[in-house]
Amino acid sequence: MKRIAIVGMPNTGKSTFFNRLTGSSSRVGNWPGVTVELLSARTILGSDAVEVVDLPGIYDLHGFSDDEQVVRSFLENNAVDQVVMVLNAAQLDHQLPLALQIHKLGMKPVLLANMIDEADQLGIRIDARALSKSLGCPVILMSARNGVGLKEVRETLIDSLQSVHPVKPHVLKAYLHADDELVAHAESLVSEHVSAPSRLVRRMTERIDRVLLHPVLGLPLFFLAMFLVFQAVYTLGAPLQDAVAYLLGLLRGWALEPLASVLPATLYGFLVDGLYDGIGTVASFVPVIILFFFLMAVVEDSGYLARAAYLTDALMARLGLDGRGFVMLLMGFGCNVPALMGTRVMRSRSLRLLSMLVIPFSLCSARLQVFIFITTALFTPQQAPVILFFMYMASFCAAFLTALLFGKRLKSDEPFVLELPPYRMPVLFQVLMRGWHEISHFLKRASTFIITGVVLVWWLTHYPEGSMPGGAGTYASMVGEWLKPVLDPIGISSMMSVVLLIGFVAKEIVIGAIVAMTGLQGAALNGYLVTQMDSIQAISFMLFILLYTPCLSTLATQLSESRSWKFTGVSIAWSLSLAWLVSFGFYQGARLLGY
Amino acid sequence: MKRVQKTMTNLSRLGTGETAHITGIHAPDDVRQRLQAMGLRTGREARVIRCTRLGPMQIRVGSVDLIMRRSDAARVEIAACDTVRIDIATKK
């Protein structure tokens, strides 16, 4: 099978083009460096099946960042039949040197001048035919967002794949210093074939930035925007969640219970009260998660994340981090794992390690599930969003505290330079793709971690035989007794301690575990929770869930990205101690004050 | 037209709306390469779009907007402002 590699600078719409070409879903964000794993997909071009690989965005083939090394080593070690470079048509002066670097290596790239609609609006005119002639490789004007020019791209690719001009890795290694020459060449090409107004004016972007990057109002507006996002997740998500729970309940009553009634009581209990209800309760959170990712995708695609980096950099600099670290922290609100991978754009190892130490404190969507579940059960609808916001603040504080404490040991001199993209309207297609991506991710986890966890908890809370389900005498209560000296002082009951133990694997399991343990659902389950904890204990429990190790995937990612057992060990030890100390402080403090 | 460079200064000294030509970058090789790849190259014109006392600066080079810390902007050497203003005036 032939292979096409897509290269380009960050933020040129490579991933959007990749999605358009292959129909597959990859993360797209209006932020330099979002695509960090190598995504590949198969598609049919002409009569051939072709593998398309989307490489991370880079500024330079000779650079020193991890992403740049990833691209270089990919090209050095993999056979590629055709390199496709996506360029931002509005920034050809800036981007052609990279195209020339690639061209000079003998890769004969197909150049796609993307975002031609944006360039058009700015009054930039590109003579593609002449530029193509001067360069000796195809140049196509396109807009991946709107699908303009894609037909021509496909035809050109089918054509160019007929004549093979594979990349020669040894040339790539041999070639290094000729940048200045390339820049001069690029400038002459641009001045000949591109006409642009002498000073670009992005009126809309500048007008919006005047407000959103306002020296005084900028930060409050940013926090307001984030608060609104979370508020929207809660208020819009709750009815959706009820709807799904209702449907699953109907299915249970109509189909599952009559069908399963022939089974022996133990098996019935296991399948219906354990597995089905456990997974069903977790599944009822899927709409909330999708909603959350939709909203994050909108924020990401709009270009606001780079502004967040600008606004928060002054604060982050004091903590030894930078604005990018803050943005990764925000990405971590979705899921810690991609956020940890996103730190690859940082060149300095100590800055990367510090960011990776801080990111696991971001309140990810899995923890959000648990908090929504508990706040709904134990607090009034007026209190719940406030408690939720308090958890987000606690998440930030834990991150900042960690940076402050460890920043002195992990100092760096990494330059903070970031591209500020213009604001763009998020495209529905991309946002939907992203949502789908997250659901499939969730279902994958559900099929392994969650089922295993739910089964394990059910077994722990129902055996040995003859013991009261979820009560004294079960294995779970033995484990609970054993953990009592540690968890009693922070107000966590022995049954809940089993849930915490299981939650170490993944927070998605926590709710399913509570359901499987009690065999209860809905209002009855909420009633049970009230007997297990009062509001102070609940907050202490949530603080612990927030701060201790997020999940095994996060740990594994920390290990693989840092390649250091020591670092991963420090991270586990620190998050466990912080979780315990904060819960202890909160719980005992609140009790002392008489709550 | 020959550019007269009386004094050298750096990008971090410019205020909002001011423009200057880049004359060099003073940084270790890897950092310089990164700054250059992002568009901060000798001979280019840089314009300060926005700057605050504490936070980063927003710089426009050619068609690209960058945000960078003042301490990093200090690595970018520019031809002193007054000469550059004349420079632009004579260009037109």
| Residue A100 contacts residue A182 (beta carbons within 8 Å) | yes
Render pLDDT for A87-138 as a digit per residue (tens, 0 to 9).
999 989 889 988 988 888 777 899 999 999 999 988 899 999 999 999 889 9
Domain count, chain A: 2
- B8/chain A closest Cα distance in angstroms: 22
Do B66 and A311 lie within an 8 Å CB cutoff?
no
For helices A508-518 and A365-378, give the axis angle rounded to 10 degrees: 40
Question: Would you say residue A501 lies in a domain?
Answer: yes
Do A65 and B34 lie within an 8 Å CB cutoff?
yes
- pLDDT band for A196, please (50, 70, 90 cuts): confident
- pLDDT band for A335, please (50, 70, 90 cuts): confident
My answer on whether A142 and A252 are in the same domain is no
DSSP of A173-197? HH----HHHHHHHHHHHHHHHEE--
Dihedrals φ, ψ of A143, to 5°? -135, 105
Interface of A with B (CB under 8 A): 59-60, 62-65, 90-94, 97-98, 179, 183, 196, 200, 209, 213, 215, 306, 309-311, 313-314, 317, 322-323, 347, 415-422
Residues in chain A within 8 Å Cβ distance of B25: none
Report the range out of A277-286, A508-517, B69-78 with the highest average pLDDT: B69-78
Residue A286: closest CA among A443, A450, A429, A434: A443
The tokens of A535 are what? 């509001």
Does residue B48 have a pLDDT over 80? yes
Question: Would you say residue B2 lies in a domain?
Answer: no
Q: Which among B33, B41, B66 has the least Cβ separation from residue A183? A: B41
Question: Would you say residue B87 lies in a domain?
Answer: yes
Do A415 and B41 lie within an 8 Å CB cutoff?
no
Tell me chain B's radius of gyration from C-alpha atoms: 12
Residues in chain A within 8 Å Cβ distance of B37: 59-60, 63, 97-98
Interface of B with A (CB under 8 A): 27, 30-31, 33-41, 50, 52, 54-56, 58, 60-69, 72, 75
Question: Would you say residue B50 lies in a domain?
Answer: yes
Residues in chain A within 8 Å Cβ distance of B40: 417
My answer on whether A254 and A364 are in the same domain is yes
Q: Which among A63, A347, A422 has the least Cβ separation from residue B37? A: A63
Question: Would you say residue B82 lies in a domain?
Answer: yes
Question: Measured between alpha carbons, how far is residue A62 from residues A84, A158, A175, A186, B80 in Å?
Answer: 18, 30, 10, 17, 31
Question: Would you say residue B3 lies in a domain?
Answer: no
Do A418 and B67 lie within an 8 Å CB cutoff?
yes
Q: Which among A179, A314, A323 has the least Cβ separation from residue B54? A: A314
Q: Which among A94, A196, A306 has the least Cβ separation from residue B64? A: A94
CATH number at residue B46: 2.30.30.90
Domain count, chain B: 1
Render pLDDT for A535-575 as a digit per residue (tens, 0 to 9).
999 999 999 999 998 888 788 888 888 888 999 999 999 99
- A334/chain B closest Cα distance in angstroms: 25
Do B52 and A215 lie within an 8 Å CB cutoff?
yes
pLDDT of residue B85: 44
Give the DSSP H/E element, type plus range, for residue A392.
helix A383-407
Question: What is the residue range of A171's domain?
Answer: 2-195
For residues B40 and B46, give the distance between their C-alpha atoms in angstroms, rounded to a whole number.
Answer: 8
DSSP of A91-117? GHHHHHHHHHHHHHTT--PEEEEE-HH
pLDDT-wise least confident of A339-348, A490-499, A525-534? A339-348
For residues A355 and A181, give the distance between their C-alpha atoms in angstroms, rounded to a whole number.
Answer: 37
- A313/chain B closest Cα distance in angstroms: 6
Do A419 and B33 lie within an 8 Å CB cutoff?
no
A–B CB contacts, 8 A cutoff, strictly below: 96
Question: Would you say residue A67 lies in a domain?
Answer: yes
pLDDT-wise least confident of A40-49, A80-89, A339-348, A553-562? A339-348
Report the range out of A171-175, A367-371, A449-453, A512-516 with the highest average pLDDT: A367-371
pLDDT of residue A128: 92
The tokens of A248 are what? 């699953």
Do A420 and B54 lie within an 8 Å CB cutoff?
no
My answer on whether A170 and A225 are in the same domain is no
pLDDT of residue A171: 60
Render pLDDT for B62-72 as a digit per residue (tens, 0 to 9).
888 999 998 88
For residues A413 and A154, give the distance between their C-alpha atoms in angstroms, rounded to a whole number.
Answer: 44
For residues A548 and A56, give the distance between their C-alpha atoms in angstroms, rounded to a whole number.
Answer: 32
Residues in chain A within 8 Å Cβ distance of B10: none
Do A64 and B33 lie within an 8 Å CB cutoff?
yes
Question: Would you say residue A59 lies in a domain?
Answer: yes
Question: Measured between alpha carbons, how far is residue A208 from residues A95, A311, A401 in Å?
Answer: 26, 14, 33
* A362: Cβ contacts below 8 Å, ≥ 6 apart: A329, A330, A331, A332, A333, A336, A339, A395, A399
Question: Would you say residue A200 lies in a domain?
Answer: no
Running DSSP on this structure, what letter comes out for residue A264?
-
Q: Output helix, strand, coil percentages for chain B, rounded to the nearest 5.
A: 30, 35, 35
For helices A304-318 and A323-331, give the axis angle rounded to 10 degrees: 120
My answer on whether A107 and A185 are in the same domain is yes
Give the residue from A180, A195, A210 where a domain finishes: A195
Give the DSSP H/E element, type plus range, for residue B21.
strand B19-25
Question: Would you say residue A215 lies in a domain?
Answer: no
| Residue A499 contacts residue A457 (beta carbons within 8 Å) | yes
Once rounded to an integer, what is the mean pLDDT over residues A181-195?
78
CATH number at residue A156: 3.40.50.300
My answer on whether A246 and A162 are in the same domain is no
My answer on whether A178 and A224 are in the same domain is no
Q: For residue B40, give the chain A residue with the closest CA.
A: A94
Once rounded to an integer, what is the mean pLDDT over residues A390-415?
87
pLDDT of residue A42: 81
Once rounded to an integer, what is the mean pLDDT over residues A525-537?
86
Question: Measured between alpha carbons, how far is residue A336 from residues A282, A392, A469, A554 in Å?
Answer: 19, 14, 35, 6
- pLDDT band for B84, please (50, 70, 90 cuts): very low
Do A63 and B31 lie within an 8 Å CB cutoff?
no
My answer on whether A191 and A226 are in the same domain is no
For residues B71 and A284, give the distance between their C-alpha atoms in angstroms, rounded to a whole number.
Answer: 49
Overall residue count recorded for chain A in this entry? 595
Give the residue from A195, A228, A255 where a domain finishes: A195
Do A60 and B37 lie within an 8 Å CB cutoff?
yes
My answer on whether A232 and A175 are in the same domain is no
pLDDT-wise least confident of A70-84, A99-113, A378-392, A473-487? A70-84
Percentage of the residues of chain A whose pLDDT score is greater than 90? 22
Once rounded to an integer, what is the mean pLDDT over residues A171-184?
61
My answer on whether A97 and A228 are in the same domain is no
Give the residue from A195, A210, A240 where a domain finishes: A195
My answer on whether A183 and A247 are in the same domain is no
Dihedrals φ, ψ of A137, to 5°? -150, 155
pLDDT of residue B89: 41
Q: Report yes or no for ipTM above 0.85.
A: no
- Give A121 or A453, the one with higher predicted confidence: A121
Provide the mean pLDDT of chain A: 83
My answer on whether A350 and A315 are in the same domain is yes
Q: Is the dihedral of CA A241, A244, A250, A252 positive or negative?
A: negative
Report the range out of A30-34, A197-201, A332-336, B59-63 with the highest average pLDDT: B59-63
| Residue A142 contacts residue A111 (beta carbons within 8 Å) | no
My answer on whether A102 and A136 are in the same domain is yes
Question: Would you say residue B47 lies in a domain?
Answer: yes
pLDDT of residue A142: 95
- Give A503 or A202, the one with higher predicted confidence: A503
The tokens of B58 are what? 């927003």
